[in-house]
Amino acid sequence: MRITVIGATGTVGRIFLKLLEERNFPYSELNLCASSKSLGKSLSVNNKSYKIEPVSAELLRKTDITFISATTEISNEIGLLAQSCGSTVIDDSSAFRLKPNVPLVVPEINVDDLYNHQGIISIPNCTTTPLAMVLNALSKYQSINRVIVDTYQSVSGTGKSAINELHQQHSQLTSNQTISDPQIYPHQIAFNLIPQIDVFTKNDYTKEEEKIINETRKILHNSNLPISSTCVRVPVIISHSEAVHIEFNKEISTKKIRELLLNHRGISILDDTKTNSYPTPLQTEGTNDVYVGRIRKDVSHKNGIALWIVCDNLRKGAALNAIQIAEELIERNLVKYTP
């Protein structure tokens, strides 16, 4: 299996390389690409050094699977080029997610959608994946009438520059220095919350909020699912959190909710109010599961349930999902490759 990683030096790209090692992914050849400022640098994978090289059609023609973690613009350009070169693309951007002929896949939910791929497969937004997994577990037992989700998203979802800005602002504030003007976000992020992720749209939702709505519907094959979202950037480095309220068509017990979640692959429960046990970003950083806690009846609606979800956005929210998709492609003989 010949693999090319586009965006290898980025936050998601580096986790992807680490997961190649952890999961003993069966590659025979590995190529690493990144922006021009990284050319010539080296990264170590499985105790072997790989130089960062430029992307080219020649390289992509010799690639079985191309993993892309880059901007939407770069994904559009390189993704289509790789597809035309015969490489199967697994893309982490929003470039192709809502295109009808591109599967948007979470392997624990809709792995069979891979059979419809035409050379490009999309990974959902990092907040969509954990939400969709929880809704998938619950909707198999009871129809869902409405979902309201509020997200609390770490700065690593933006990238290394945002992590650096948070560290810089925190250092300046705690040492009584004048804080630099924010460059990445519209406001200071240190010791603050910003209820805006991406730009606002005509209906006053942000693009991030619309991504969660539309992507969740596509993954669950439920285009009419009533869902509303509010996305907030928080001064946390890794892991996204979500407060979710779900209204069912019939009353459902918290005991049944726990049972359904525990039986779903990739979901773990941390939920014991007696010991103050619930998932937090620090607990989930570096882990692969979607963690759920604070499971309780919604006191405002007899058919409602409230719960709390936390997930490492760089792993299951991005890189791990890509690795799992590649593994499924190989297992199902859905990708042509050189052993």
Q: Which of 126, 231, 264, 311 is catalytic?
A: 126
* 240 noted as active-site residue: yes
**Alpha helix segments (H runs only) across the chain:** 11-22, 57-61, 72-84, 107-110, 128-139, 160-174, 207-220, 254-262, 281-284, 320-331
Q: How far apart are CA 115 and CA 100, in angstroms?
A: 14
Rounded to 5 degrees, what angle do the CA atoms 4, 9, 11 make? 110
Residue in 108, 102, 99 with CA at minimum distance from that of residue 90: 102
* CA-wise closest residue to 30 among 10, 52, 15: 52
Tokens 């697994």 label which residue?
A: 90
Catalytic position from the list 33, 117, 240, 311: 240
| Residue 273 to residue 294: CA distance in whole angstroms | 8
Neighbours of 177 (CB within 10 A): 11
Catalytic residues: 126, 240
